[in-house]
Structure 1
């Protein structure tokens, strides 16, 4: 029997109209769409974004699977084993399966684990990945901050990095994007304050979504827990591009 195709489909950062035409075409053609969610009581954030645009497709299966946000291997392994079996059963029955992912499937996405498992355990199947607009670009754009010109160096890291490592990275790069910053905002603010970078930092949450939040003075959210889909954009703008002197420091 012919095997089905596994698709990883990036939906973009949150606004439905930022989903690509290729992603939409794929989601309207596959036999099954996997709707990732935190647990049985949660709705799929990814599917909430795509549902109305994709619309009803006769005969298409929409399968909700749980992917717990836990650091306990016992919890995550059990859920993943169930999900992998459900996906494998459909692909090996010849069905095409799309795993939807907020942002891009290859950037901090659960799809990466499925992709690596499929490559190793199901070498006979075809895997296709459809890129999506990432919050890495969407959040700085929402805040009106160019990420980098011709000479600037960029760092993209989880905000939960070790404090000393985080401080070192902040010193080394011109633009730093701290992903998933909500749980450690107080620590981030303390580091930025000590480095004299508070005025060059902006907090962006749920970029392009209905609940988008942009805070230009991040002192205002010290001690508060932000939204899950959040980022701190640090833009020093110390180095210029070629138009200003081939990377010389701006005076």
Structure 2
């Protein structure tokens, strides 16, 4: 019998924010797959309690904007997963936050499905929800729309003008530029940021003028429209 690939969202950083379903999937899986992109793997640190003695499968998924290289790595990783599935192994592929929101894993998921194999998503707590909890505020209320944008998005100016509460994800390298755009559009006073939400090195900024250098990749800015 062919195995199943599970894309498991492990939440934003705090092990206590793992869902029960994620824990059950990790504990029952034959293999734990994880991406290698350079540096410390935060997702592995979150799940280490639940994967002792499991077969570990590293997937080389470089942090690059080169589409050809990304396509090659996703294809290679999908084939890697399928070979294990053919052996009847169930695989839990861990990914930070939720696998449906700007997840590297989702590209592998789609390729495995397209090749006729079974892949399923296990929802995780998104980082921006953890940020809202840390700020002790809502993201949206009543009929307020919410716009979620990667900070490096080419259409950033249009997004800034759109009448909605906004979440800017992956702000690290773009943080100072984004701050200036917020200042120019009169939105800076409504902006707050959490860096590395729920992690040991978490920092909260209620005033973005306190930023004096580029922040972590795991930085999220929330901008209220009013």
TM over 0.5, shorter chain: yes
Q: In the alignment, is the contact (CA less than 8 A) between 2:98 and 2:126 conserved in 1?
A: yes
Call closer, same or farther: CA 1:161–1:81 in 2, change over 3 Å.
Answer: closer
Distance between the aligned counterparts of 2:214 and 2:145, measured in 1?
29
Q: SS where residue 80 of structure 1 aligns?
A: helix
Q: Which residue number corresponds to residue 230 of structure 1?
A: 219
Q: In the alignment, is the contact (CA less than 8 A) between 1:145 and 1:235 conserved in 2?
A: no
Deviations 1:228-247 (Å, cap 9, x if unpaired)?
1111110123xxxxxxxxxx
Name stretches of at least 5 consecutive residues in structure 1 with no aligned partner: 238-251
Distance between the aligned counterparts of 2:40 and 2:166, measured in 1?
32
Q: SS where residue 167 of structure 2 aligns?
A: strand
| Bigger shift: residues 150-159 or 182-191 | 182-191
| Bigger shift: residues 2-11 or 84-93 | 84-93
Deviations 1:203-242 (Å, cap 9, x if unpaired)?
21111111111111111215x11001111110123xxxxx
Count residues with an aligned counterpart: 226
Distance between the aligned counterparts of 1:132 and 1:100, measured in 2?
10
Q: Which residue number corresponds to residue 175 of structure 1?
A: 165
Q: Which residue number corresponds to residue 140 of structure 1?
A: 132
Alignment of structure 1 residues 149-188 onto 2, 5 Å:
149-162=141-154, 165-188=155-178
Q: Note the C-alpha offset of 1:127.
A: 1.9
Distance between the aligned counterparts of 2:179 and 2:151, measured in 1?
11
Distance between the aligned counterparts of 1:220 and 1:36, measured in 2?
33
Q: TM-score, normalised by structure 2?
A: 0.94
Call closer, same or farther: CA 1:74–1:128 in 2, change over 3 Å.
Answer: closer
Distance between the aligned counterparts of 2:67 and 2:224, measured in 1?
36
Q: Which residue number corresponds to residue 245 of structure 1?
A: none
Structure exhibiting the larger radius of gyration computed from Cα positions:
1
Computed over aligned residues only, the root mean square deviation of the Cα atoms, in angstroms, reads 1.6
Q: Which residue number corresponds to residue 210 of structure 2?
A: 220
Say whether 1:44 aligns with 2:41: yes
Distance between the aligned counterparts of 2:164 and 2:36, measured in 1?
35
Q: In the alignment, is the contact (CA less than 8 A) between 1:147 and 1:154 conserved in 2?
A: yes
Q: Which residue number corresponds to residue 85 of structure 1?
A: 79
Q: TM-score, normalised by structure 1?
A: 0.85
Q: In the alignment, is the contact (CA less than 8 A) between 1:70 and 1:76 conserved in 2?
A: yes
